[in-house]
Structure 1
Amino acid sequence: MLHLKGSCHCGAVAFEVDTIAPVPFMRCYCSICRKTSGGGGYTVNILGQSSTLRITQGADVVKSYRAVKDKSAAVPVLCQDRFFCPTCASYLWARAEEWPEWIYPYASAIDSELPTPKATASIMLGSAAKWADPRELRKAEDEVFEEYPTYSLEQWHKERNALA
């Protein structure tokens, strides 16, 4: 178990969360991640235990956005809630109703030292912007997926003995 501290850029919001899976390895290139928080064309989430989330500063100002997975569908398919600071627009963490035991802090919001991944995965490349496609930049041990991989963040950490 690793205790993490995070914050937004302007300092209005600070939070803490515990994780068993602290290695930031999966870069998501889906249009939601790219447009809401991915300056490099992707975002990186880590796995946090939702029961341990504690907003230590700014709980009254944190805002959320519920992303829509498919805007063209007759009935919109909702995705994760994404929490952010309304002052500086820093994304802080995401949460999905399907997995209430987890939150997904953005690695970019974490102030604690995180382990360096030995390999990474780039996912949702079917949605990647052409200018952000990582296929030519990856290391041999990195994985690439056109869609979401068959394993979870927790599973990836377990298979690589990367649990805290």
Structure 2
Amino acid sequence: MSSKHPYPYSLCYCSICLKTTGSGGFVINLNAQYDTLEVIGRKHITVYHAKIGDTTSPAECHFCKHCSSNLWLYDARWPELVHPFASAIDSELPIPPERTHLMLASKASWVTPHIQKPDKQFDECPDESIAAGYQRLNLE
């Protein structure tokens, strides 16, 4: 898989990420080009669509049906992109000069975010895309 944005940059604290990943309160999605995704053993992968009230999200969370590891998120509304979970990548990832903490208003009460001085914080979704953040930080 190829990505113009390989830094673990955005940390999402929404209730869906918390519940589907069983993480310490956040999940890190990376941006990658969907047409570069190569999957071996697709028969071991299943898809989850989060439910928000009476609405089912069109986003597909792909995970291992044997161990429940989250692998990537795909949404047909943006067919050129795939969002691998940083926790599913075995190779080293670069460390970003800052991170964006988003959906903080939804975080679980037991979560204490590790927010550093240059980091950005948003109660909801940020007003800056991941790509725009990379460009602003000269990471491309």
Q: Which TM-score bucket, shorter chain as reference? A: over 0.9
Give 1:28's aligned amino acid. Answer: C
1:144 and 2:121 are equivalent in the alignment: yes
Moved over 6 A (4+): none
Deviation at residue 104 of structure 1 after TM alignment: 0.4
Contact kept in structure 2, 1:92 and 1:106, CA below 8 Å: yes
* Identical columns (%): 37
Deviation at residue 67 of structure 1 after TM alignment: 1.4
Structure 2 CA distance for aligned equivalents of residues 38 and 138 of structure 1: 20
Structure 2 CA distance for aligned equivalents of residues 30 and 59 of structure 1: 27
Structure 2 CA distance for aligned equivalents of residues 26 and 103 of structure 1: 15
Give 1:89's aligned amino acid. Answer: S
Instruction: Please show how residues 54-133 of structure 1 align to structure 2 within 5 Å.
Output: 54-55=38-39, 57-68=40-51, 70-71=52-53, 73=54, 76-133=55-112
Instruction: Return the TM-score normalized by structure 2.
Output: 0.94
1:157 and 2:137 are equivalent in the alignment: no
1:53 corresponds to which residue? 37
Q: Over aligned residue pairs, what C-alpha RMSD do you find?
A: 1.3
Q: As a proportion of its length, which structure holds more strand?
A: 1
Instruction: Return the TM-score normalized by structure 1.
Output: 0.81
Q: Gapped runs of 5+ residues in structure 2?
A: none
Deviation at residue 105 of structure 1 after TM alignment: 0.2
Deviation at residue 133 of structure 1 after TM alignment: 3.6
Give 1:143's aligned amino acid. Answer: K
